[in-house]
Amino acid sequence: MSLSQHNDTIRFLVLDGDGIGPEIVRSTLTVLDAVSDHFGLHFSFEKLPIGFEALSIEGTSFPERIMAAIPNCDGIILGPVDHAAYPPPSEGGLNPSGELRKRLELFANIRPALSRPGFPPPCGKNVDLVVVRENTEGFYADRSMFLGNGEFMPTPDIAMSLRKITREGSTRVAVAAFELARRRPRKLLTAVHKANVLRIGDGLFLECCREVAKQYPDISYDEKIVDAMAALLIRDSSQFDVIVTTNMFGDILSDQASELSGSLGLAASLNAGKDAAVAQAQHGSAPDIAGQDIANPSSLIGSSAMLLGWLGERHNDQRLIEAAEAIERALSEVIAEPAKRTRDLGGKVGTQTFAAHVADTLRNQT
C-alpha cells in the first residue's frame, strides 16, 4: 500500500465485520468525515463484505477479492469479527483478522492503554502505556504452521498446542517497540516473558530483545516475568511505558491494562507491518448487543486515529498527524462529559449520537 498523493485522495478499505461491527464502523466514518472537512483532507472509502455477510454471499468469510483490493488502498479499517462462531476453514470459515495479519505481515499489534480526563480509572491511578504485541506467531493456532493447524489431538483424550517463536519475528517486534519508546517522553521499555519456564522459546525472544536494546542506549530497558507483570500492572501501572511481549501474553496483558485505564471499550489498536496497517478495535464483536445502537465506538474511532498517525509518520504528512491528534482530543473531551457517554461508560447516548458528539467537537477545535 502507498499513499495516493497523486490525486490528494487517501483511500481506505472498509470491512464492517460482524455483530456491532457495522455500527461502530459507521460511527468511525462519521468522525473521519469530520476530519476530512476540518483539515481539508480527501478520503474515499471502499466497502467489501467479510465475516458472516461474506460467508452467506460468497461461501467464505474472507473472499480473495479483499486481498486484491489492498494494493489500491492506503489503510484498512476492520470492524470486529465473530470468528469463533464461524464454520471450519474447510467450509469457508476463515478468520479475517488472522488472515490480514499473516498475509500482510502485520507483525506489531500496538495497543495503548490511556486513562481519559474526567473518567477515573477503576484502580484510582491513571494509566499511560503501550503494549506492543508480536502478531504473527506464538501460541495462536492459525499462525504457527505453514500447512495445517497448530493444535492437534493424537488421541481423543490428549490436546496439544504448538508455539512458534522465531528470531526474525522477535527482532522485528522488538525494533518496533524500541522505536515507539524513543518517540515517547519517558523512553522506558519492558520486555515481558516466561523464560524461567519456557526457556527455549522465551529465551530466544529475550535474546533478541537484549540484542536490539544495545542499539538503543537512550532507552531504559528492563524485563519482567509475565505473572509478576500482571500483578504489577494492578499495583502500579504508572511505572511502565512501552511493553513488548509475545502474542498470547500481549493479548492478555493489553486487555488488562486497557480495563485498568478505564474500559476495554476505549482501547484502540493498530496492526502494523512494514508496508501496511489495519485499524481494529481491541474488543470483540459483542453479538448480544448488535443492532441496538448501544455499542461504544470509541475503540475503533481511536484505532482510526492511530492509522492516520501511522500514515502521517510513514509519509511525513503533518496534516494526518494533526488529524490523529485532533481525534484523540475530541474523544477525550466527549468522554469527559457524562451526558455524552455511552451506556458502558455510565451514560445514556447511543452509538451514532456519541459519534456525532465526537465529530461536532472535532469540527469546533481551533
Helix (H) / strand (E) element for 318: namely: helix 318-335
Neighbouring CB atoms inside 10 A of 46's CB total: 12
Among 140, 202, 241, 340, the one annotated catalytic = 140
Among 255, 293, 317, 344, the one annotated catalytic = 255
Are the beta carbons of 253 and 243 closer than 8 angstroms? yes
Active site residue 255: yes
Active site residue 16: no
Distance CA 209, CA 181 (A): 13
Active site residue 164: no
Query: Per DSSP, which regions of the chain are E strands?
Result: 9-15, 42-47, 75-78, 108-114, 128-134, 151-155, 158-161, 188-193, 220-225, 242-245, 270-272, 277-280
Distance CA 288, CA 310 (A): 33
Are the beta carbons of 140 and 106 closer than 8 angstroms? no
CA neighbours closer than 13 Å in the CB half-sphere of residue 183: 10
Residue 177: burial class (beta carbons within 10 Å; 0-12, 13-18, 19+) = buried
Burial 78-105 (b: 16+ CB within 10 A, else e): bbbbbbeebeeeeebbbbbbbbbbbebb
Among 37, 227, 236, 360, the one annotated catalytic = 227
Burial 109-138 (b: 16+ CB within 10 A, else e): bbbbbbbbeebebebeebbbbbbbbbbbbb
**Residues catalogued as catalytic:** 140, 194, 227, 251, 255
